Amino acid sequence: MTETDKVASAATGPKTNYLRIFERFALILVWLLLIAGFSIAMPVSFFNWGNFSILFASYAPAALLALAIIVPLTAGDYDLSVGATLTVSSCLIGVLNAWYDVPIVACIIIAIGAGVFIGLFHSLFIVYFRIPSLVVTLGSTSLMTGIVQWMTNSSTIGGIDNALIMAVVGGRFLGVPYVFYYALIAMIVMWYIFDFTPLGRRLLFVGRGREVARLNGISVDKMRVGALITSAVVASIGGVMYAGILGSADPYSGLNYLLPAFAAAFLGSTTILPGRFNPLGAVVAVYFLGTGITGLTMLGIPLWVTNVFNGGALILAVTISQLTRGREVTDIG
């Protein structure tokens, strides 16, 4: 490096570092500003711990779906079926427990087992028959939606065992229902695996370049199968949480989490670790979007604004994510 290069590096280095730090935490800053704005507009109804407690609990299933989505995304695959998987899981619990008196623990095991089956089903067509993941998971969403409607007679099922409700939202820590902490635990576990284990690094290598990963001795097909199964299992756990929050099984509303969860997955890749799908960023993005929707709803904004907000957030998040990921690859190169 010449003397001129050293001077240029010294001049631009700190500025670049500050920009990178700002980029990593910009979404959190915007989230805090959003909270401040709604708190000023609605100091009594919005800015109180009860409102935040409801917000943290109600968006916990969406946080789990966002975590489910980023696993196959990191490996280069899409899973559009996580909302349907959540619905299948919650409705299995409703049908088996409320209609057939199956013990709640057995129902939870069966619901999570259904997630394993769904992940294997996706893997068969995506990994071994080489059908694009978008096509397979979009088709399975319709398939599962039909099965759920048949299974529940297209009706909401009440009467789920109170033990599940108490375990999910009945108990509280610092005034916030347990379900929020379950989502935090899932985020921490996934963060550790992604950032501190060989498994997480291999998953990232597969997503960045499958042929290169294969040449380096990584079993690409096994990694993709594992990612798809993990996605479905985490989504099914979200379904268990969802059934506990509602105390019933709704064959329709679980799909409403899909769009915000996808938007959060991509928006989360622009923060904390810009250019990478990361668990902490995904969960922060879920609650950023949840705060926006909650605040707008409390202001009396029409219901259609929620769809506009989620759709716009998804388009913007994907755009920023692609630009960030492209820049990171250029920097590495």
pLDDT tens profile 238-279: 999 999 999 999 898 778 888 889 889 988 888 888 888 999
The SS3 of residue 79 is: coil
Strand partners, 249: 157
Q: How much is the average pLDDT of 300-326?
A: 75
Asked if pLDDT for residue 105 goes beyond 90, the answer is: yes
Query: Under a CB-based contact definition with an 8 Å cutoff, are residues 99 and 269 in contact?
Result: no
Reading phi first (left if > 0) and then psi (alpha if -120 to 50, else beta), residue 186 is in alpha
Residues 114 and 128: beta-carbon distance below 8 Å: no
Q: Which range, of 102-111, 142-151, 281-290, 313-322, averages the lowest pLDDT?
A: 313-322
CB contact at 8 A, 67 and 186: yes
pLDDT digits (tens, 9 = 90+) for 147-184: 999 999 989 998 899 999 999 998 888 889 999 999 99
| DSSP at 272 | S
Amino acid 326: pLDDT: 59
- pTM, two decimal places: 0.89
Q: For residue 210, how many other CB atoms are within 10 A of its CB?
A: 17
